Structure 1
Amino acid sequence: MSDAMLSHEPRTVVVGVDGSHAALNAVRWAAAEAVDRGLPLRIVHAMASGADPDGVTDAVLLEAQDIARIGAESVRPQPVRVIGRPGDVLLRESGRAAMVCIGAKPRRAADEPVIGHTVAALARGSACPVAVIRSRPDGTAHTDGVISVVLSDEAGNDDVVHLAMHEGRLRGRTVRQIDRRADSWVRRYPDVHVEIVAAGSGHHYGCQTRGHDDVALAVVGAADADALPTLTMPNGHPILGYPNCSLLLVRH
């Protein structure tokens, strides 16, 4: 791709796997990302030690490869086993990746943490965008709705919005832009209903959601990523349903 943010020539798209259904949902997401970027898909299984007498790691990696190929036939999988804690391993991997993808189980109780230790580590320190693919209670990936992003005055917001628009194109989804800029025309005239229209394209963004009005993916910047590990529910985030949907964290 020609866009500067998406063409800094990283080596791979990385996905962490552990044999769970949530991880396989992340593999499907990551496979499409890797093919779109023309990069190999690095499938990483973190292990406490190098020993694998029962072949568990081999089975986990083989299943992930099969899932990746079903989702994207031209994907180039690179299965690897790495010794270390998952958070530490994926943080190291982020230094040479275009994106790190990881699965997240559904929250089953109101007092349950919004994210686990591995996602918290990546939210704080990843060197590349992080896709957190949330699974629903029925096992399906929470990715079939609009992609929502906040327009703000924060540094780096253009990168956040850029990636949201890229994902909208790749996934064939509507992108909902929530304008929180201090001096935006929308905030000056809060009583006026506004539809965002790309001039000359004939397309309206934020009006039609192809039958799905819930948020499939929230694309957020560094400030939200920093706050995520200590976030409690409910919260006043402008993206409805955040962070129980899938997340794309953009630190840079």
Structure 2
Amino acid sequence: MSRTVTAGLDGSPESRAAADWAAREALRRGLPLRLVHVHEWQPYSSVYAPLAGAVAAVDPDVQQQWAESVPREAAAVLAGRHPDLEISAGRVSGQPAAALAAAAEESELLVLGSRGLGALAGFLVGSVASATVAQAVRPVVLVRAGEKGDDEHRPDLDGLVSEYTPFRDVVLGIDLARPHDDLLAFAFEAAMLRGTGLRVVHGWNLPASYGYNPAAIALDLEHELTGAQAKALTQVLAPWRAKYPAVDVVEHSVAGGAAHHLIEAAADASLVVVGRRVRRAAAGLHVGPVTHAVLHHAKAPVAVVPHD
């Protein structure tokens, strides 16, 4: 099966923003767009109430009609905006997170919506989006409600923003203990497709022996540790700089956790790229503390790339 960019739809404003973002990304990548609505029948749900009241909401036929209309109507809107884009739309039945994760397997990437809480609070990641991110074996991008195409671009000299002004940078969070190729390739490709720069953030911690007495670190040792981490980051990125010479890379090796620095960088980014190690914890699937924090608080769209 040929690869697509897939967007999950549930009729909400955040999922419509995700579908619009997915359409633009599909055009950038020269891929078709697939719109998917996962229908899980419920005996009562207020999401159907606007159609014909609470009584009609329990009718399976009404629910089916609504489920079929969601991707069809979104496809019509996007086709009007992007007449050159190949778009398919449909629905599948089942448990939403599992169905979306399955759809992601056939996709270049999966795009979902998250409820935006403003510039400071960022995302409110719902249970379906969280579970999908934790299960998917392909990259998943989460997009805030209200996200527009212009938000990806920098203002011009007059302070105006449009699709014709340069893209904001792509931001990559990397762990040098596991600098996986899939994560690096996704970030460099995203920056190249946008014709913009890549800011790479690596957070590192002091050796455990200094954990209870940071004052014991001499200034020269601190400089030595900082220099060693910066050098290691440069070495990891060197072959990728050579592979993507058109991408302007800025490296940030920072002491302390990376989450805060990534969230701060997201305020002026077109996309934030983070990784997720594919493994099962004792308590089930999870995404790791840095990725979890970025998903819940970053202002820009966030791509989560699974890796071994």
Instruction: Normalising by structure 1, report the TM-score.
Output: 0.71
Q: Tell me the amino acid that sits aligned with residue 170 of structure 1.
A: L
Contact 1:86 / 1:118 at 8 angstroms: preserved in 2? yes
Give 1:30's aligned residue.
22
Q: Deviations over 1:23-55 (max 9, x none)?
A: 121112212333344433221111123944373
1:53 maps onto 2:62 in alignment: yes
AA matched with 2:268: D
TM-score (norm 2): 0.59
Matches within 5 A, 1:144-163: 144=153, 145-155=168-178, 157-163=180-186
1:50-199 to 2 correspondence within 5 Å? Answer: 51-53=60-62, 55-107=65-117, 114-135=124-145, 139-141=146-148, 143-144=152-153, 145-155=168-178, 157-180=180-203, 187-188=226-227
Partner-residue secondary structure (3-state), 1:35:
helix
- AA aligned to 1:187 is T
Question: What residue number does 1:15 align with?
Answer: 7
Give per-residue Cα distances to partners, 1:150-201, cap 9 Å, x unaligned: 243243533212211211222344321124479xx9931789xxx9996896
SS in 2 for 1:97: coil
- How many positions carry a matched residue from both structures? 228
Identity %: 24
The question of whether the paired residues in 2 share the 8 Å contact of 1:147 and 1:215 is answered with yes
Change (3 A) 1:179 1:22: same
1:48·1:85 contact (CA, 8 Å) conserved in 2? Answer: yes
Change beyond 3 A, Cα 1:129–1:140: closer
Contact 1:12 1:40 in 2 (8 A): yes
**What letter matches 1:25 in structure 2?**
A
SS of residue in 1 equivalent to 2:62? coil
Q: Unaligned 5+ residue runs, structure 1?
A: 1-8
Q: Indicate if the aligned counterparts of 2:14 and 2:114 stay in contact, CA closer than 8 A.
A: yes
8 A contact 1:217–1:245 mirrored in 2: yes
Structure 2 CA distance, aligned partners of 1:101 and 1:246? Answer: 10
Note the C-alpha offset of 1:19.
1.4
The aligned residue for residue 4 of structure 1 is none
Read off the aligned partner of 1:214 and give its amino acid letter: D
1:66/1:189 CA distance change after superposition, 3 Å: same
Instruction: Provide Cα deviations, 1:222-247, integer angstroms capped at 9, x if missing partner.
Output: 1497126994xxx6x7x9x9544321
What amino acid is the match of 2:274? V
Task: Give 1:247's aligned residue.
Answer: 302
- SS of the equivalent of 1:53 reads helix
Larger radius of gyration: 2
CA–CA distance in structure 1, aligned partners of residues 273 and 122 of structure 2: 22
Q: Quick check: 1:15–1:101 contact (8 Å CA) kept in 2?
A: yes
**TM-aligned CA distance change 1:81 to 1:91, over 3 Å:** same
Q: Which moved more, 1:19-28 or 1:44-53?
A: 44-53
Deviation digits for residues 74-121 of structure 1 (CA, Å, limit 9, x no counterpart): 222111111123212101212222111111111369999842111211
* Higher helix proportion (structure 1 or 2): 2
Structure 2: gaps of 5 or more residues = 42-58, 154-167, 206-223, 252-265, 279-285
Q: CA RMSD in A?
A: 4.2
Q: Which moved more, 1:220-229 or 1:242-251?
A: 220-229
Q: Is the 8 A contact 1:130 1:249 kept in 2?
A: yes
